[in-house]
């Protein structure tokens, strides 16, 4: 049995000035709703939903990379993606002052 969160109990006191801040308030509302859902339900229940969401993204990524290596053009794209990834590590250097 999955316990439901009463949406009336979820409140976010953020200003809404435009679409961007409206979207942000909605996302923060969803995060609070989800945290409450986690508290009301067993780990098995909430984590099943989380795993479905995360796993589907990795399945798509896996298909994407497998398709790329099939063609010459795809392999070139893959090479560029890998180069971008390596550059990312170098540019993240400035963040190392903390983590």
- Using CB under 8 A as the criterion, which residues of the chain lie in contact with other proteins when the complex forms? 12-15, 17-18, 20-21, 23-24, 27-28, 31-32, 34-36, 38-39, 42-44, 46-51, 53-55, 57-58, 61-62, 65, 81-82, 85-86, 89-90, 92-93, 95-99
Residue 54 corresponds to which tokens in the numbers above? 């995360």
Q: What is the Cα Rg of the chain in Å?
A: 20
Q: Residue 98, SS3?
A: coil
What's the CA gap between 50 and 42, in Å, rounded? Answer: 13
State the minimum distance, in angstroms, from the CB of residue 17 to other proteins. Answer: 7
Instruction: Give whichever of 47 and 71 is closer to other proteins, judged by the CB atom.
Output: 47
């Amino acid at each position: 049995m999955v316990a439901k969160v009463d949406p009336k109990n979820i409140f976010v006191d953020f200003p809404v000035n435009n679409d961007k801040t409206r979207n942000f308030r909605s996302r923060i509302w969803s995060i609070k709703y989800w945290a409450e859902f986690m508290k009301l339900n067993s780990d098995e229940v909430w984590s099943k939903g989380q795993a479905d969401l995360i796993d589907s993204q990795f399945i798509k990524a896996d298909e994407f990379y497998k398709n790329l290596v099939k063609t010459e053009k795809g392999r070139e794209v893959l090479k560029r993606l890998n180069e971008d990834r390596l550059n990312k590590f170098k540019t993240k250097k400035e963040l190392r002052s903390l983590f």
